[in-house]
Structure 1
């Protein structure tokens, strides 16, 4: 049991990198018969509070569930709700799944759902899927809930798929109101112990509504160091490993690692604010013309990324149906103009990407000053327009499986993450039209038209689409390869 812990300590001593590791069992020889050893990238930041980003661990580990799931293209599928209907512009009705029993033995009822979702709407900070959304939830009988929004919202089902809106038993909420998912979820695995930043123990929930899981339990270990995660897979000390670094994926048996396109795009945001150097559309076009994406993919990402043809990438299969691009402004000669290019060091590849872009832009005739800081020290300056260009790795579908919120946040006049400072009436009109569309097929067409309008302005130069690498030990079957990183261990996941 202690073999991998000792190995991790050796890696830590050799690299002077502090590691977090638990007690692993060898793959196929887990700490107990039928259990799986799962290695995750980051420890929980808020004790697995579902109103935070920790919620994604609850869904990836099969602890908690939501009313709605998503299909590969982002459409709604049944979860704890088996059906739904839109009653009018403002209200939706959801029929709950019968026979669901939480890990504490209590049943799923409309009152429980109202309590869970009501607490989410009142949480501070509010779950990001509810940013700007005024949502009220009420029981509509013992097994049906009604969700009403202040404004028409065709994405209510998709919003309810966010892991941050997981439904927990009433026993999860203590006197302080903070949720504790221990023995309070409804998924195939029961959280029985959370060991801080080290790991967690989950046992199979034999009362799961969709049948017993194949694995008898999960031993979860939080290991921030990429070298240690890779070694855990290579040496056979882990069954399922998330977030294998792209630079190390090539060191592994190709039968044990798989690349999954992520809905995450590396983008060069250009400052369009009046008075800025790149406020000139012609100079933005000069930047676009100077960028050669191939060295970015082949260098920092070692070929393990996809060249960007737009803001939305292959993780959204329908994005390949985009219309012909709109003609941007003709480029003008940079003539030695000085620009500041910035990025952050928290993602190891981004400073390398920025350094290559610096060279390309200087060859094109710009004078470039490169600024690299930790993200916490650079975000405010980026949002206030202190830089002419900013390299950012950005999730494009956020929590709803729909990219409208990302496009509005980053490129609308009122966007809360508008690094480019873009305010273009045609862009806003296209985004407003896409946001209001309820028919998913038509909505996707309108999203691609809005993307075209953004790219026409030159406010953003898409560089590449990232991939995530997941490792499964030989003999492990049934693990999920999910671009949205919501699913990992499924009821059918097992090690033969």
Structure 2
């Protein structure tokens, strides 16, 4: 086996990807806090939880600010593109060789080398806990000349995709000097992180030594604003140029020209307990499936700002839609059980309060199930107090908002966790050989069209069991002042302010 990927005419893979994800609004509009200053004012949903360590979920902030970069980025279909690695080659079933881009400097002035890149990857493999993207992956990191050589204990066709995770960002050796990972002044992106004020704010400046096209904006001013009403007010009043995650309930009070809806790789799903209780019977699960009115749920709980689910994977993965029309997919789904007649069947239904819409979704689902003949008892708590019960099968049904592509940009890990016999997040308690075999086949397949076909076959196998009834695919509402140009609208939430983003002076 010898697969080689080359950068070809690609210059700055991150910039190429940004163009595919960006929108352009140059017309004048509502005042923005930094109009004409060359700086971008950003209001973000969540403050840092781990000191902006790239080995935590804070890594996605560093990526959204274009300050920390990875060896690889992903295109819209989830296939890998060059970034800090210019090309790569799979030299055996277990070994990959990545060539490191020349002429790149870190924000502290040191030079990107293969050893510097390897140092960041070794820090990730040795971290406790290990970054999610490497969970279960035994990775050995070596350097050979200008290349980083990676060896896995088992064949891993998804390794280049893994390296796109912001949790595997490449920082200078100085970032690791103190025992913790400090991203301030140690990235390679078009913006240099210069200051962090705890969980309150962060400041970035344009890095004039950037290896790609220099940033259009002179800097980024970040405020962490967990309160959704306050973020919406920042957009309405012009105190922020770009606002993350405007609550759906606030959107109606904002000029529609400032609102952009981005499909998310997140599905709200009704999980049914296949191991015990009424839903151990496939025909009773089928009755629940037939009872669901997705359009009514979206209209009420999401004010129309969501997409009906035709499957587990939604419009954030645009390649999925056409593949459901294939004869093979339809043939698999034809194996679903016929619905039973239900009269007075008692079930427990759980969900959690942490995502504001879910309690209302639960009320609507209860009403729809009761119209079909079920008797429903609800249990709604904070997620931290209900997760254990859900995973142990304490509920007959459970409503969950679930990320479907996780860190690699690939949904196989989600399928394996939620729907296989050994899955660690198997709320449905599903264990069927046909599903396990389909997920395993997808996992073994190389990235590209064949893997996507295998993924859709696995989705169809899962849906045939009615262990999970997909309800809707969420959208995130991103606010942008009308004088903002080229803010990224990224379903994976890896990009937001890029080198091309700018705030124009008002006219």
TM range (shorter): over 0.9
TM-score if structure 1 supplies the norm length?
A: 0.93
Q: Which residue number in structure 1 is paired with residue 277 of structure 2?
A: 276
Once the two structures are TM-superposed, the CA of residue 33 in structure 1 deviates from its matched residue by 2.7
- Aligned partner of residue 301 in structure 2, secondary structure: coil
Q: Which residue number in structure 2 is paired with residue 8 of structure 1?
A: none
Q: Which residue number in structure 2 is paired with residue 316 of structure 1?
A: 317
Post-superposition Cα deviations, 1:423-479, rounded to whole Å, max 9, x if no partner, equal 000000001111101151011001000000000011000000000111111211011
Q: 1:80 aligns with which of 66, 84, 89?
A: 84
For 1:88 and 1:172, the matched residues in 2 are separated by 33
Q: Does 1:196 align with 2:203?
A: no
Once the two structures are TM-superposed, the CA of residue 27 in structure 1 deviates from its matched residue by 5.2
Consecutive unaligned residues of structure 2, counting only runs of 5 or more, are: 1-29
The runs of at least 4 aligned residues of structure 1 exceeding 6 Å deviation read none
Once the two structures are TM-superposed, the CA of residue 256 in structure 1 deviates from its matched residue by 1.5
Q: 2:170 aligns with which of 167, 171, 174?
A: 167
* Contact 2:35–2:503 (CA under 8 A) maintained in structure 1: no
Q: Does 1:51 align with 2:58?
A: no
Q: Which residue number in structure 1 is paired with residue 495 of structure 2?
A: 487
Once the two structures are TM-superposed, the CA of residue 57 in structure 1 deviates from its matched residue by 0.1
For 2:32 and 2:304, the matched residues in 1 are separated by 32
* Contact 1:199–1:221 (CA under 8 A) maintained in structure 2: yes
- Aligned partner of residue 278 in structure 1, secondary structure: helix
Post-superposition Cα deviations, 1:467-492, rounded to whole Å, max 9, x if no partner, equal 01111112110110000000000101
Once the two structures are TM-superposed, the CA of residue 276 in structure 1 deviates from its matched residue by 2.2
Q: Which residue number in structure 1 is paired with residue 160 of structure 2?
A: 157
For 1:438 and 1:81, the matched residues in 2 are separated by 20
TM-score if structure 2 supplies the norm length?
A: 0.91
Post-superposition Cα deviations, 1:21-46, rounded to whole Å, max 9, x if no partner, equal xxxxx955529931111110000000
Q: Which residue number in structure 2 is paired with residue 7 of structure 1?
A: none
Once the two structures are TM-superposed, the CA of residue 326 in structure 1 deviates from its matched residue by 3.2
Answer 1 or 2: higher relative contact order, Cα 8 Å, separation at least 6.
2
* Contact 2:216–2:502 (CA under 8 A) maintained in structure 1: yes
- Aligned partner of residue 146 in structure 1, secondary structure: strand
Q: Does 1:120 align with 2:128?
A: no
Post-superposition Cα deviations, 1:271-319, rounded to whole Å, max 9, x if no partner, equal 011x322111111111111111111100010000000000000110111
Post-superposition Cα deviations, 1:198-243, rounded to whole Å, max 9, x if no partner, equal 1111111111111321111111000011111111111111111111
Post-superposition Cα deviations, 1:317-355, rounded to whole Å, max 9, x if no partner, equal 111112212331111122212110000000000000001
Q: Which residue number in structure 2 is paired with residue 292 of structure 1?
A: 293
Consecutive unaligned residues of structure 1, counting only runs of 5 or more, are: 1-25
Q: 2:242 aligns with which of 219, 240, 243?
A: 240
Q: Does 1:426 align with 2:434?
A: yes
Q: 2:103 aligns with which of 93, 99, 106?
A: 99
Q: 1:404 aligns with which of 389, 412, 417?
A: 412
For 2:342 and 2:281, the matched residues in 1 are separated by 11
Once the two structures are TM-superposed, the CA of residue 109 in structure 1 deviates from its matched residue by 0.7
- Aligned partner of residue 299 in structure 1, secondary structure: helix
* Contact 1:263–1:313 (CA under 8 A) maintained in structure 2: yes
* Contact 2:33–2:41 (CA under 8 A) maintained in structure 1: no
Q: Does 1:339 align with 2:347?
A: yes
**Equivalent residues, number:** 468
For 1:338 and 1:379, the matched residues in 2 are separated by 22
Q: Which residue number in structure 2 is paired with residue 251 of structure 1?
A: 253
Post-superposition Cα deviations, 1:348-400, rounded to whole Å, max 9, x if no partner, equal 00000001111111111111100000000000000000000000000100011
Q: Does 1:37 align with 2:41?
A: yes
For 1:305 and 1:403, the matched residues in 2 are separated by 20
For 1:114 and 1:349, the matched residues in 2 are separated by 43
- Aligned partner of residue 232 in structure 2, secondary structure: helix
Q: Which residue number in structure 1 is paired with residue 143 of structure 2?
A: 139
For 1:334 and 1:430, the matched residues in 2 are separated by 31
- Aligned partner of residue 227 in structure 1, secondary structure: helix
* Contact 2:88–2:97 (CA under 8 A) maintained in structure 1: yes
- Aligned partner of residue 319 in structure 2, secondary structure: helix
* Contact 1:475–1:495 (CA under 8 A) maintained in structure 2: yes
Post-superposition Cα deviations, 1:84-126, rounded to whole Å, max 9, x if no partner, equal 1111111111111111100011111111111110110111111
Per mean C-alpha deviation after superposition, the further-off stretch among 289-298 and 304-313 is 289-298
For 1:386 and 1:29, the matched residues in 2 are separated by 50
* Contact 2:158–2:447 (CA under 8 A) maintained in structure 1: no
Q: Which residue number in structure 1 is paired with residue 207 of structure 2?
A: 205
Once the two structures are TM-superposed, the CA of residue 174 in structure 1 deviates from its matched residue by 2.8
* Contact 2:33–2:238 (CA under 8 A) maintained in structure 1: no
- Aligned partner of residue 464 in structure 1, secondary structure: strand
Per mean C-alpha deviation after superposition, the further-off stretch among 208-217 and 147-156 is 208-217
* Contact 1:27–1:37 (CA under 8 A) maintained in structure 2: no
For 2:409 and 2:87, the matched residues in 1 are separated by 19
For 1:144 and 1:351, the matched residues in 2 are separated by 51
For 2:372 and 2:155, the matched residues in 1 are separated by 47
Q: Please provide the CA RMSD for this pair.
A: 1.2
Post-superposition Cα deviations, 1:146-190, rounded to whole Å, max 9, x if no partner, equal 111111010000000000000110000133x21010101111111
